[in-house]
Structure 1
């Protein structure tokens, strides 16, 4: 397989968009340095993106930042996902019941993508998760919930394809330890993330059985509120929702 982008210009355009999405507004020099491109090339890229209304230049600082056009595109894209509209009321009920943040993710290769999120004003904390952001399967509650449905051979294949990083000091980077956690998820019906992605944050997730797609729902909270006892309680809540949802979707 040839990993080289056949259209080099488009690659540069999207790298500029991804950079601005990650870093926020930047100067021409900063963008040039990050992308390792000369200023004249970057200037042409930015002018093209400005022409298409994906980028705007701030009048005072002259820095370049993304417009809201990408947000509009993302909203239109998500509107075509019927599963979000079906599951969203369940997320609201779960968030109200627990007063914690609830997520819906969809699997994409070795990652899970956040496609819906419900927060409550009570007990709300700022989490890493945002709609459209990805999280590795191997070290997330939602990811392990999805992977608990796989055979050992499939697990090993996904593990070998994944970019295994020590995101926090709690992140599991050994396949043997990972397999133990998957077995626990299979026994419990739900999977956990104990500070593997964010220090101080625990997560419990369940897999939703949908034809041709792989979804999972999770509850995330500070470790003080989502201790071992509450994980069991919230795990039961999730399993109840799983049963209701799968009946509705069958």
Structure 2
């Protein structure tokens, strides 16, 4: 659970940015209603963001939207992560071998954030994931792979801080059942997301651990469930574990 921002104006500015990122072009009244702020306050915030080139207003519709300056910030953050450059050939190779989408994620609080993504060029079904998007640790393949490397006290702390949401009928929200899942991941060496976040999508993942003593990372292969059956899971498990071994060797882990 996130703490209340002690600086009110910062809270309002970033809530406005997050709303526009989530909703796309929006009118003043819609933004005001969503944020539960009066229109004059929202108007001042938007004008400030326009002056800083983070927001623009369509002259025809009067709606507000984010500019690509936000993207430049995220690109600068990612440019300082050397693991992305080192891991990129490995996840590209996985995408080519499997014909599916491969992700590289980093743990961030109680979530995992996508920091790289490669889709096979001939893949006709695209995953809705995107670089910069966060997903909960407790119900994602990459998240559970990361958690399985932790001790039970750390897992319990993250579980209690998470806002447990039943995304599908397969989402595990009982803690004892979740610990059984973690135990299986530790025994098998890989994690599965069996339509726990999205119906029709399966994911297999392995943890890379804390690379260079920093935050934990994981890699995954995602696909529609009809393209990830038991035969593919057996194949992808071997590919992921081999990729993990090679990548960690290059990193000197």
Per the normalisation by structure 1, the TM-score is 0.96
Partner residue in 2 for 1:120: 120
| 1:93 and 2:105 are equivalent in the alignment | no
Q: Deviations over 1:73-96 (max 9, x none)?
A: 111110111111111110100000
Evaluate the alpha carbon distance shift between residue 3 and residue 144 of structure 1 in structure 2; reply closer, same or farther with a 3 A threshold: closer
Take 1:3 and 1:137, find their aligned partners in 2: how far apart are those partners?
19
Runs of 4+ in 1 over 6 A off after TM superposition: none
Q: Is the 8 A contact 1:142 1:205 kept in 2?
A: yes
Partner residue in 1 for 2:170: 170
Partner residue in 1 for 2:26: 26
Q: CA deviation at 1:59?
A: 1.6
Partner residue in 1 for 2:58: 58
After superposition, residues 148-227 of structure 1 pair within 5 angstroms as 148-209=148-209, 210=211, 211-227=213-229
Show structure 2 runs of 5+ residues with no match.
Answer: none
Take 1:10 and 1:110, find their aligned partners in 2: how far apart are those partners?
22
Q: Deviations over 1:41-73 (max 9, x none)?
A: 111111000000000001211100000000011
Take 1:246 and 1:125, find their aligned partners in 2: how far apart are those partners?
30
Q: Secondary structure at the match of 1:224?
A: helix
Q: Secondary structure at the match of 1:29?
A: helix
Take 1:240 and 1:46, find their aligned partners in 2: how far apart are those partners?
49
The CA RMSD measured in Å over matched residues stands at 1.3
Q: Is the 8 A contact 1:100 1:124 kept in 2?
A: no
Take 1:137 and 1:38, find their aligned partners in 2: how far apart are those partners?
35
Per the normalisation by structure 2, the TM-score is 0.95
Take 2:109 and 2:161, find their aligned partners in 1: how far apart are those partners?
9
Partner residue in 1 for 2:230: 228
Show structure 1 runs of 5+ residues with no match.
Answer: none
| 1:71 and 2:71 are equivalent in the alignment | yes
Take 1:218 and 1:104, find their aligned partners in 2: how far apart are those partners?
7
Partner residue in 2 for 1:242: 244
Take 1:100 and 1:4, find their aligned partners in 2: how far apart are those partners?
40
Q: CA deviation at 1:126?
A: 2.7
Partner residue in 2 for 1:144: 144
Take 2:166 and 2:247, find their aligned partners in 1: how far apart are those partners?
34
